[in-house]
Amino acid sequence: MLAATRSVLSRAARAPVRAASTVARAAAAASGSESFGSSAWARGLMFGAVAAAAAGSVAACEAEEESPELASMAIFSGNANPDLAALIAEHVGKPLGSATVGRFPDGEVSVSVHENVRGKDIYIIQPTCPPHVNEYLVELLLMVTTMRRASAEKITVVVPYYGYARQDRKMTSRVPISAADIARLLESVGVDRVVALDLHCGQIQGFFGPRVPVDNLAAARVGVNYFARKVDLENPVIVSPDAGGVYRAKVFREGLNLQTGSDAGLAMIVKQRPRAGVVGQMDLVGEVTGCDCIIVDDMIDTAGTLCKAADLLRAKGARRVYCFASHGLFSGPAVQRISKSCLEKVVVVNTIPLASNAKTCDKIEQLSVAPILGDAIKRIHMRKSVSAMFSGKKVVAAASPAAERA
List residues with catalytic annotation.
271
CB distance 210 to 194 below 8 Å: no
- Between CA 156 and CA 191 the distance in angstroms is 6
Q: Which residues pair with 169 in a beta bridge?
A: none
Backbone dihedral angles phi then psi of residue 246, each to the nearest 5 degrees:
-65, -40
The gap between the terminal CA atoms of the chain, to the nearest Å, is 44
Phi and psi at 94, nearest 5°, equal -135, 125
Task: Decide if 240 contacts 248 (C-beta within 8 A).
Answer: yes
Go through 363-390 and write b for each residue having 16 or more CB atoms within 10 A of its CB, e for each that does not.
bbebbbbbbbbbbbbbbbbeeeebeebb
Peptide bond into 131 cis (omega under 30): yes
3-state secondary structure of 294: strand
CA 4 distance to own-chain centroid: 33
Task: Tell me how far apart the alpha carbons of residues 201 and 85 are, in angstroms, rounded to a whole number.
Answer: 24
DSSP 151: T
Beta bridge partners of 25: none
User: With 0-12 CB in 10 A as exposed, 13-18 as middle and 19+ as buried, what is 170?
Assistant: exposed
Residues 176, 203: Cα–Cα separation, whole Å: 16
Supply the DSSP string of 121-169, one letter for each residue.
EEEEE----TTSHHHHHHHHHHHHHHHHHTT-SEEEEEESS-TTTT--S
Strand 265-271, strand 282-285: pairing: antiparallel
- Helix H, strand E, coil C: the string for 187-247 is HHCCCCEEEEECCCCHHHHHHCCCCCCEEEECCHHHHHHHHHHHCCCCCEEEEECCHHHHH
DSSP 3-state of 4: helix
CA 2 to chain centre: 31
